[in-house]
Amino acid sequence: MRGMTLIVKCITQLMAPSIFLLGIYVVLHGHLTPGGGFAGGVLMAGCFVLIVLAYGSEEARSEVRKWRASLSESIGIFIFWLLAMLGVIQGSYFFYNVIAKVNPGQPYTLFSAGIIPLCNIAIGIEVAASLFAIFITLAVLKVGEKL
């Protein structure tokens, strides 16, 4: 897969940070507005995919490492599991919303709802990394190539 023209590369340089920022916004405001970890994570993965498509797989092969995507994916789901285990550690049941019971916060503000925004962040990391890992495995790597 070759890279695209200079116009596409320039527009990608302009657009990619905004798309990534929108993804972070959707993840962080998942408990207030429509969206959440899945939608924001896919937006972030789409930003990476856009960059790889615009600059071509030859350029991407020198920068992209598959183990980084796999590692962030594993870290994301591990954080999610740890947040669920917080309730057990504290002495209650699995998925108990510990933080909301101790310090509920003001509803309709960013710092509210206990572990829900933290779970959204973990899911966002996991979804973004896993979709990007699938993309580079299917579209960038040659069959059997190790990266």
Partner 1 sequence: MLTILILFVVLMILGAIVALESKDLLSGIISLGIIGFALTIVFLVLQAPDLAIVQIVIETLTLIILIAAVLKTTREDTTEEFSARKAFLWFAGLIFIGIFLLAAVKTFQHVPKFGHPTLRMAQLYIDQGLPLTGASNLVAAIILDLRGYDTLGEATVLFTSVIGVITVLRKMGRKRT
Binding footprint of partner 1 on the chain (CB under 8 A): 1, 26, 30-36, 38-39, 42-43, 45-46, 49, 53, 66, 70, 73-74, 77, 80-81, 84, 94-95, 97, 100, 104-105, 107-108, 112-116, 119-120, 123, 126-127, 130-131, 133-135, 137-139, 141, 143-146
- The span from the CA of 37 to the CA of 39, in Å, is 6
Kindly state the smallest distance separating residue 62's Cβ from partner 1, in Å.
18
| The two structure tokens encoding residue 142 | 């040659």
Kindly state the smallest distance separating residue 130's Cβ from partner 1, in Å.
4
Kindly state the smallest distance separating residue 125's Cβ from partner 1, in Å.
11
* Comparison of 30 and 55: residue with beta carbon closer to partner 1: 30
Kindly state the smallest distance separating residue 82's Cβ from partner 1, in Å.
12
- The span from the CA of 86 to the CA of 88, in Å, is 5
Q: 83: closest CA among 93, 95, 100?
A: 95
Phi, psi of 105 (to 5 degrees): 75, 175
* Comparison of 9 and 77: residue with beta carbon closer to partner 1: 77
* Comparison of 9 and 32: residue with beta carbon closer to partner 1: 32
Dihedral sign, CA of 54, 71, 36, 106?
Answer: negative
Kindly state the smallest distance separating residue 94's Cβ from partner 1, in Å.
8
Residue 25 CA to its chain's centroid (Å): 12
* Comparison of 10 and 111: residue with beta carbon closer to partner 1: 111
Residue 60 CA to its chain's centroid (Å): 19
